[in-house]
Amino acid sequence: MMERKQELMRQRRDAGPVSAVYPEVSSIVMNMTYNQKGARSILRTFCYSPDSYAFFVVNCLNKECVDGGFDLTHVVNEMIKNRRAEARGTICCEGTDPSDNHSDIAYEVAVEYS
């Protein structure tokens, strides 16, 4: 588990700052509603400024999940490529869970351009 955490930290640093990867972007806000069978939904918000790392992988909150998480990199890349201000959708956790309680998120992403 510690190796996974270190790998994610390395990937985060390697992603570089938002200002270098997306120089035309002044902010990115992600609202995610985390859903899991048998648990209450949880709203999580992530705000990215030009100085933030351009790393859009969010960990799964399920304690039994192995190597899970939600990668919104493709969502952000497509939005910026097409200069879209908003996007919504759902994605499932990419990890494995010994039970059948896989989780998903409903996301809303907003990009503000310079």
pLDDT per residue, tens digit, the chain (114 aa), is 678 778 888 998 999 999 999 999 999 999 999 998 777 899 999 999 999 999 999 988 887 787 788 999 999 999 999 999 999 999 998 787 666 667 899 999 999 999
105 and 19 in contact (C-beta within 8 Å)? no
Number of domains in the chain: 1
Q: What is the enclosing helix (H) or strand (E) of 7? A: helix 2-15
Boundaries of domain holding 18? 2-113
In angstroms, what CA-CA distances link 86 with 9, 30, 56, 110? 27, 10, 16, 5
pLDDT value of residue 62:
81
- CB neighbour list of residue 10: distance below 8 Å, 6 or more residues apart: none
